[in-house]
Amino acid sequence: MSASLAPPKSETTDPRALDAAALTRHARRLALAQEPPWLHLDVAARMAERLPIIKLKPQRVLQWSAFLGAADALLATQYPQAEQLCVEPSPALLARSEAAHKRAWWQVLRGGAQTQIVPPGQVAAGQAELVWANMCLHASPDLAAALAAWHAALAVDGFVMFSCLGPDSFVELRPIFARMAWGATAPQWWDMHDIGDAMVTAGFADPVMDQERISLTWADGEALLKDLRALGGNLAPERFTGCRGRAWRAKLLSELETLRAADGRLKLSLELVYGHAFKPKPKIRVSAETTLSLEEMRAMVRRSGA
């Protein structure tokens, strides 16, 4: 297919929308990597520095998109007593994590905690005191569904901590792609205020949102493209979907030279969004007649006697 073709017109009206097929392909490719993306490793360490502000010591930690979240060692160090449960959103990542955490027969005989690996649909409700979701929300095709799943997985008074890319990430690439009619560079991702509002709607209490802006630099365009590809790829439905040729790549490298800063290095901006919130006790609506399940009644009795 010619590289001069225009990007396809999309019927979507939300610039934050993701291409589901592209998301599946990128998950398969990332599952083959030797380690999580470099940025995910760095952000996991930044998130872990925030854990001491939470006094709760969870007995069960649920890592959402565990492999790409890159926090196994960090969470084991922070919460050595906690059971670790890893959720993987795609079959490829699920298979990778299952293979990585499979123990030898002699390890089973020695006992000790075993990490459980499950798909999202098999997460038991109300079991985790901490849901840890590093750098996965911007790759979730349905924000409301993702937040609802985290809320359902948490026990009452448990908390979620997450990070994701913000809409001002890699903004310097947008005018280049617009000028060259190359389609969208990436989804615009969710603003932290919109995420905070969505968390309240999902039932979380007093979400705390924060952002961090980072400047990334590279010596040349080849190194820049290699690092961006390691993050997964372009999930925007409005991206160019044809095949790119050598001539286009050469033109792209030429255009990237416009990103050189005063120090002579290519520069891109990154916006990281962080958030945490607790799952409050459920509120009972007062009405002439209130219906509770037996399980809800038992849970209320246990909490009242605690």
User: Which residues are bridge partners to 208 per DSSP?
Assistant: 276
d(C-alpha 112, C-alpha 101), whole Å: 13
Q: What is the pTM of this model?
A: 0.84
All residues at 6 or more sequence positions from 104 whose CB lies less than 8 Å from its CB, including other chains: none
SS3 236: coil
Q: Is residue 249 part of a domain?
A: no
Q: Is residue 46 part of a domain?
A: yes
pLDDT tens for residues 25-62?
999 999 999 999 999 999 999 999 999 989 899 999 99
Which residue range(s) make up the domain with 65?
A: 20-167+187-216+271-300
Whose tokens are 């962080």? That residue is: 274
Please answer whether residues 244 and 183 qualify as being in contact, where contact means their C-beta atoms are separated by less than 8 angstroms.
Answer: no
Please give the pLDDT value at position 4: 36
Please answer whether residues 198 and 32 qualify as being in contact, where contact means their C-beta atoms are separated by less than 8 angstroms.
Answer: no
Q: Is residue 195 part of a domain?
A: yes
Q: Is residue 133 part of a domain?
A: yes
Q: Is residue 290 part of a domain?
A: yes
Q: Is residue 194 part of a domain?
A: yes
CATH number of the structural domain spanning residue 67: 3.40.50.150
Q: Is residue 212 part of a domain?
A: yes
Q: Mark the ranges of the chain whose per-residue pLDDT is less than 70.
A: 1-13, 102-114, 242, 284-290, 292, 299-306
SS3 276: strand
- When divided into structural domains, the chain yields a total of 1
Q: Is residue 260 part of a domain?
A: no
d(C-alpha 225, C-alpha 231), whole Å: 10
Please give the pLDDT value at position 84: 92
